[in-house]
Amino acid sequence: MTRSDEDELLKRAADRFGTPCFVYFTQRIEQRISLLRTNFGPDLGLSYAVKANPNPALLEWLSGEVDHLDISSAGELRLAQEAGWDPALLSFTGPGKREAEIREAIRAGVGHLVIESLREARIADRIARQAARVQPVLMRISPESLPKGFGDQMAGKPTPFGIDMEVAHDAISIIQSLTGLSLAGFHIYAGTQCLKADVIAETYRHLLDIFARLCSAHDVKPAMLVMGSGLGVPYHQGETPVDLRFVSRMLNGELSTFRKEPRFTNAKIVLELGRYLVSQAGYFVTRVVSTKTSRGRRIAICDGGMNNHLPASGHFGMVMRRSYRMHSIGVRNGSADETEAVDVVGPLCTSIDRLASGVELPRLEEGDLIAVHNSGAYGLTASPVHFISHPMPEEVMVVADTLLRITRSFASGPARACDSEDAVRLVDGTHPAAANQNA
Ligand SMILES: *Cc1c(COP(=O)(O)O)cnc(C)c1O
Dist. CA 162 → ligand 1 center (Å): 13
| pLDDT in the model for residue 153 | 62
Ligand 1 centroid from CA 274, angstroms? 6
Confidence (pLDDT) at 428: 47
Q: State which ligand 1 atom lies nearest to the alpha carbon of 70.
A: 11
Strands (E), 55-96: 68-71, 90-92
The reply to whether ligand 1 has any atom less than 6 angstroms from the CB of 189 is yes
Centre of ligand 1 from the C-alpha of residue 264, in Å: 25
Task: Provide the residue type at 374 as one letter.
Answer: N
pLDDT of 414 > 70? The answer is: no
How high is the pLDDT of residue 64? 87
Q: Can you give the pLDDT at residue 433? A: 53
411 band by pLDDT with thresholds 50, 70 and 90:
low
Q: Rounded to the nearest whole angstrom, what is the distance from the C-alpha of residue 439 to the centroid of ligand 1?
A: 33
Give residue 123's identity as a one-letter amino acid code: I
Q: Is any atom of ligand 1 closer than 6 Å to the C-beta of 274?
A: yes
To test ligand 1's pocket by mutation, which of 66, 159, 192 has the most ligand atoms within 8 angstroms of CB?
Answer: 192
Mean pLDDT of the chain: 91
- pLDDT tens readout for residues 265-276: 999 999 999 999
Alpha helices in 133-281 (DSSP H): 168-177, 197-217, 244-260, 275-278
Task: Please tell me the distance between residue 2's alpha carbon and the centre of ligand 1 in angstroms.
Answer: 30
For 279-338, write each residue's pLDDT tens digit: 999 999 999 999 999 999 999 999 999 999 999 998 887 767 788 999 999 866 666 678
Atom 5 in ligand 1: residue holding the nearest Cα: 274
Please report the atom of ligand 1 found closest to the CA of residue 277: 9
Ligand 1 contacts CB of residue 51 (under 6 A): yes
Q: How far is the CA of 256 from the centre of ligand 1 (A)?
A: 25
Find the 163 Cα to ligand 1 centroid distance in Å.
17
* Residue 407 amino acid letter: T
Asked whether residue 438 carries a pLDDT value surpassing 60, the answer given is: no
271 lines ligand 1 (CB under 6 A): no
Strands 44-49 and 354-362 come out as unpaired
Q: What is the mean pLDDT of residues 148-152?
A: 74
Tell me the pairing of strands 369-372 and 339-345: unpaired
Minimum mean pLDDT range among 35-44, 109-118, 180-189? 35-44
Average pLDDT in the 415-437 region? 48
Return the pLDDT at 379: 95
CA-nearest residue, atom 11 of ligand 1: 228
418 has pLDDT over 80: no
**What b/e sequence results for 78-104 when a residue is b if at least 16 CB atoms lie within 10 Å of its CB, and e otherwise?**
bbbbebebebebbbbbbeebebbbbbb
Count Cβ atoms within 10 A of the Cβ of residue 36 and give its class: 0-12 exposed, 13-18 middle, 19 or more buried: buried
* Element containing residue 329 per DSSP (H, E): strand 326-329
User: Which residues, at least 6 apart from 306, have a Cβ–Cβ distance to it below 8 Å?
Assistant: 312, 313, 315, 346, 348, 350, 352, 353, 354, 355, 383, 384, 387
C-alpha closest to that of 92 among 47, 146, 154: 47
Give the Cα separation of 359 and 343 in Å (integer).
Answer: 7
Looking at this protein, which amino acid is placed at residue 67?
D
d(CA 203, CA 205): 5
Q: Is 80 in the pocket of ligand 1 (CB under 6 A)?
A: no
Arithmetic mean of pLDDT, 129-144: 97
Highest mean pLDDT (candidates 94-108, 147-161, 225-239):
94-108
CA–CA distance, 36 with 282 (Å, rounded to integer): 19
Assess whether the previous peptide bond of 20 is cis (omega < 30° from 0).
yes
Reply yes or no on whether the pLDDT at 412 is more than 50: no
- HSE-up (13 A, CA, CB side) for residue 318: 15
Ligand 1 within 6 A of CB of 70: yes
Contact 287, 19 (CB under 8 A): yes
| 49 Cα–ligand 1 center, Å | 6
pTM of the model: 0.92
Give the rounded percent of residues in the chain with a pLDDT score beyond 90.
Answer: 81
Kindly list the distances between the CA atom of residue 312 and the CA atoms of 136, 309, 354, 362, in Å, as whole numbers in the listed order.
Answer: 38, 6, 8, 20
Helical residues (DSSP H) of 131-167, grouped into ranges: none
Torsion angle (degrees, nearest 10) of CA 11, 16, 19, 25: -60
Q: Environment class of residue 130 by beta-carbon count within 10 Å: exposed (0-12), middle (13-18) or buried (19+)?
A: exposed
Q: Which residue has the higher pLDDT, 97 or 334?
A: 97
Ligand 1, atom 14, lies closest to the CA of 49
- Tens of pLDDT, residue by residue over 204-251, are 999 999 999 999 999 999 999 999 999 999 988 889 999 999 999 999
Helices (H) and strands (E) in the chain, counts: 11, 18
pLDDT in tens, 383-410: 999 999 999 999 999 999 999 999 987 6
Q: Is the CB of 272 under 6 A from ligand 1?
A: yes
- Which percentage of the chain shows pLDDT scores above 70? 91
pLDDT at 333: 61
CB of 92 closer than 6 angstroms to any ligand 1 atom: no
Distance CA(140)–CA(390), nearest Å, equals 39
CA of 206 to the centre of ligand 1 (A): 18
